[in-house]
Amino acid sequence: DWSSDVCSSDLSGKNLHRNWLSIPHVTQHDLADISEMEALRQANKGQAADKGYKLTPLVFLIKACVAALQEFPQFNASMDKDGQHLILKKYYHIGIAVDTPDGLVVPAIRDCDRKSIPELGRELSEVSQRARDKKLTPQDWQGASFTISSLGGIGGTSFTPIINAPEVAILGVGRAAVQPVWDGEVFRPHTLLPLALSYDHRVVNGGDGGRFLTELTSLLGDVKRMVM
């Protein structure tokens, strides 16, 4: 289990290598129109900072992923040890890849379905700080049911995230950018977020991969539906 024993770049390298070789990955790409979400985020980020947390796109992404996972339970699952059975999880613990000076760690934010955007924002700030201070406990890095790897704060459009076994899917997030979108009459500026979903092709077929990512982009494009 990658998430349970990653505590140095050596170990994470070994596990990434094993997962890359043993899981047949397919990566599906899409762009989410987050113009509305960005407007909401910009309007509220000052207030969030006053309350002690950072309102980044990742906080909304956790929320949207939970909603999509509830609709597509085979993505919120793990393979058993012999690779024969799929275990569907009834909880939504989202692993977050955190870059630290000592390498990659993946703490899980637990029960994301029961947490509000401010609660998730606070927990994300707190857990990533503890990861960088090497203060994660075994409880922090165990039991994720789905992982998000966000490079959006760093840059880049798209990349191929490696599945965090025994999970069966991972979402990679690139950097959002304002781009011209044709509305049938004129080009208008929209904020588009690049997403890359890698899934285990033994568990998820291409149609379901496409449907999951389409649902996720649709949720991110409709803030009311996402947060309600």
Q: How far apart are CA 30 and CA 1, in angstroms?
A: 29
Q: How many residues bind ligand CAO (CB under 6 A)?
A: 21
User: Any contact of residue 173 with ligand CAO (CB under 6 A)?
Assistant: yes
Q: Which is nearer to ligand CAO, 27 or 74 (CB)?
A: 27
Q: Which residue has the tokens 């075994």?
A: 138
Q: Which two tokens stand for residue 53?
A: 């947390």
151 binds ligand CAO, rule: CB under 6 A: yes
Q: For the beta carbon of residue 39, count every other beta carbon within 10 angstroms.
A: 12
**175 contacts 2 by C-beta, under 8 angstroms:** no
Q: In angstroms, what is the minimal distance from the CB of 24 to ligand CAO?
A: 18
Residue 99 in contact with ligand CAO, rule: CB under 6 A: yes
Name the packing angle between helices 206-220 and 57-71 (round to 10°).
Answer: 130
The stretch among 56-64, 70-78, 110-118, 205-213 that binds ligand CAO (CB under 6 A) is: 56-64
Does residue number 104 form part of the binding site for ligand CAO (CB under 6 A)? Answer: yes
Site for ligand CAO in 178-217 (CB under 6 A): 193
- Note whether 128 binds ligand CAO by CB under 6 A: yes
Which of 5, 23, 6 is CA-nearest to residue 167? 23
Least Å from the CB of residue 8 to ligand CAO: 15
User: For residues 223 and 125, what is the distance between their CA atoms, to the nearest angstrom?
Assistant: 22
In the complex, the residues that contact ligand CAO under the rule CB under 6 A are 54, 56-58, 96-99, 104, 124, 128, 149-153, 161, 173, 175-176, 193
